[in-house]
Amino acid sequence: MLKHLYIRNFAIIDELELDFNSGMTALTGETGAGKSILLGALNLVLGDRADNDSIKQGCDYAEIVAEFDIQQLDHVAAWLVSQELNVDEECILRRRISRDGRSRAYVNSTPVNLQNIRELAEMLIDIHGQHEHQSMMKSSVQRQLLDDYAKHSPLLEAVSNLYVELKLVEDQLQHLQQTSNEQNDRLDLLRFQTQELDALALEENEYLRLNSQHKRLANAEKINSTVEQAIYSLSEDENNNIQSSISRIISSLTSINEIDESLSPVAEMLTEALVQIDESVSLLQNYHDNIDLDVSQLVNTEQRIQNILDLARKHRVEPETLTSLHEQLQKELDDIDHVDERLDELGKQQKDLELKYIHACEKLTSSRKNAARKLNKNITQSMQTLGMNGGKFEITITPVTSKRFAYGLDQIEFTVTANAGQSCKPIARVASGGELARISLAIQMIIANSSKISSLIFDEVDSGVGGGIAEIVGQHLRTLGSSKTGRENQVICITHLPQVASQAHNHLRVEKQTQDKRTSSRVISLDEEQRRQEIARMLSGVEITEQSLAHADEMIERAQTI
């Protein structure tokens, strides 16, 4: 629901702040006072194309901010989350246009492109009247209105899920068919490559192990000499080996321990060191016994490494990745070898899913036709009360055979005629803007309970009507703005007729004023007496009479009973 509108430096508006409430709000004023300017500002913040001429003369920029309450609009909150935008109880749209031609749009203080703000705006507010962008004209919105009215969410979800699953299977099938067409040449190459890798029989991490082994074999003599020298120095040198030297030191320290016990820790540490040296000698001896000095083993290792490097260069990969390449090529070979089986399997899945999809679409189509018949009757009846006697509304549902869609196989179009004896035409081709606005009102009256949009604006919906019909139009707008199914609804109506304005729950008057040779517009929220005076003015013109005031009182009082 639209809560607040702020306008600055737009057209003839210096600065204007407006608060809006739920229910029906009438927006009145003399012709040229600026009612259309307010709507133009709102359209701009909702994503209309910016025009430098709309910036107030003498100013460098214009700014419009619209604040919406979205506490009851879960689908809007979900959309904001999907776009990674801040989510709160309120949603604030801001648009700023500069004299240099730059335009910026924001949602909850985050910059967005116009496409995003238009998409969001369509979920927040709907404008009906003589304007270029009206959601009711879009076939997607017409389909959505019918589906919302019929509560088709479960059927639509079933169709959409089957559509996605079918599309996935078809993509896999197409890929495999392309593979099948190219498989003969590829098959021969794959078999040759896998046979080479099979013959190599490379083990996991074998190349790294071979490199390590090669280093040991290539340096075996040096290693052997170094180990023998270490063993000799530690234990085999008859004159001065380390083991014997430490043993003698320990013995001499032990002999004087009785004289001075402070040397006891030293003796203990040397004893521990001697144990470590004994173990080191044992390990070195064992290592020495296993040193391989076989030259043929070195040659075999070098040849194995060379074989691996040659095959790695042939496949243009690192030697360490040959095993994974082998697995990859083997899998591709297996896939091609079994492609016919997989094609048959996917073909069966496709046919099964296609039958399920068509069945789900037929079920959805049948339900749409039933709902359309009810809507046709109810909206046609509503049109009769809105000054379109003999008018007819009809939803055409045409099957689509050339393509599949996630929303079914129906082309849905709203058609209408405002006069008896004439054939229905698409609603987008209705000539009269006033008739179009009233038809939109008739549609909204019927589907209001199921529509996801809680804020509606009707621009001069009373065009071309008067008297009792105008009062009925006002009654419909009042009813439409009343709360239904626990949700606050909001209707804002720009009108010139007192019969419509008298039905409003809230009343705003637009005034034009001139000061210091400058013209500007302002909007006043009317209290009860001001509203009485305004409706009397609309009834009698410039001069307000006692009779017009009494008539205004009667109209307002009668509206309270609805």
How many other CB atoms are found less than 10 A from the CB of residue 388? 24
Q: What is the DSSP letter of 216?
A: H
Q: How confident is the model over 523-550, as pLDDT tens digits?
A: 899 999 999 999 999 888 768 888 989 9
Q: How confident is the model over 304-316, as pLDDT tens digits?
A: 888 888 888 988 8
DSSP string, 291-316: ----HHHHHHHHHHHHHHHHHHHHHT
What's the CA gap between 120 and 115, in Å, rounded? 9
What are the DSSP E strand ranges found in 210-317? none
Domain residue spans of the chain: 2-150+450-560, 202-337
- Residue 130: per-residue pLDDT: 52
Higher pLDDT, 555 or 181: 555
Q: Which option is the CATH number for 2-150+450-560: 3.30.1300.10, 3.40.50.300, 3.30.420.40, 2.40.50.40? A: 3.40.50.300
Sign of CA dihedral 162, 167, 172, 178: positive
End-to-end CA distance of the chain: 23
* 3-state SS assignment for residue 487: strand
309: its two tokens: 């490097």
Residue 32: exposure state from Cβ atoms within 10 A (0-12, 13-18, ≥19) = exposed
What's the CA gap between 272 and 268, in Å, rounded? 6
Residue 217: exposure state from Cβ atoms within 10 A (0-12, 13-18, ≥19) = buried
**Does the model's pTM come out above 0.85?**
no
Q: Which residue has the tokens 């078999």?
A: 191
368 confidence band (pLDDT: 50, 70, 90):
very high
Report the DSSP beta bridge partners of residue 29: 510
Q: How confident is the model over 225-277, as pLDDT tens digits?
A: 888 888 888 888 877 888 888 888 888 888 887 777 888 888 889 889 889 98
Of 99, 98, 140, nearest to 123 by C-alpha is 140
Higher pLDDT, 32 or 499: 499
- Residue 133: per-residue pLDDT: 41
458 confidence band (pLDDT: 50, 70, 90):
confident
The angle, 0 to 180 degrees and rounded to 10, between the axes of the packed helices 139-149 and 339-384 is 80
Mean pLDDT value of segment 271-289: 88
What's the CA gap between 242 and 277, in Å, rounded? 9
Bridging pattern class, strands 490-494 and 410-417: unpaired
CB 365 within 8 A of CB 399: yes
pLDDT at 465 > cutoff 70: no
CB 378 within 8 A of CB 360: no
Q: What is the mean pLDDT of the chain?
A: 85
Report the DSSP beta bridge partners of residue 28: 509
* 3-state SS assignment for residue 1: coil
- Residue 132: per-residue pLDDT: 40
Q: In the 3-class helix/strand/coil scheme, how is 134-160 assigned residue by residue?
A: CHHHCHHHHHHHHHHHCCCHHHHHHHH
Cα torsion at 153, 22, 483, 437 (round to 10°)?
Answer: -70
Q: How confident is the model over 470-525, as pLDDT tens digits?
A: 888 888 888 888 865 556 788 999 888 899 999 999 999 998 887 776 777 888 99
86: its two tokens: 């801040």
Mean pLDDT value of segment 46-64: 88
CB 172 within 8 A of CB 346: yes
Q: What is the DSSP letter of 49?
A: P
402: its two tokens: 């050339």
Q: How confident is the model over 130-176, as pLDDT tens digits?
A: 544 456 778 888 898 899 889 898 999 999 999 999 999 999 888 87
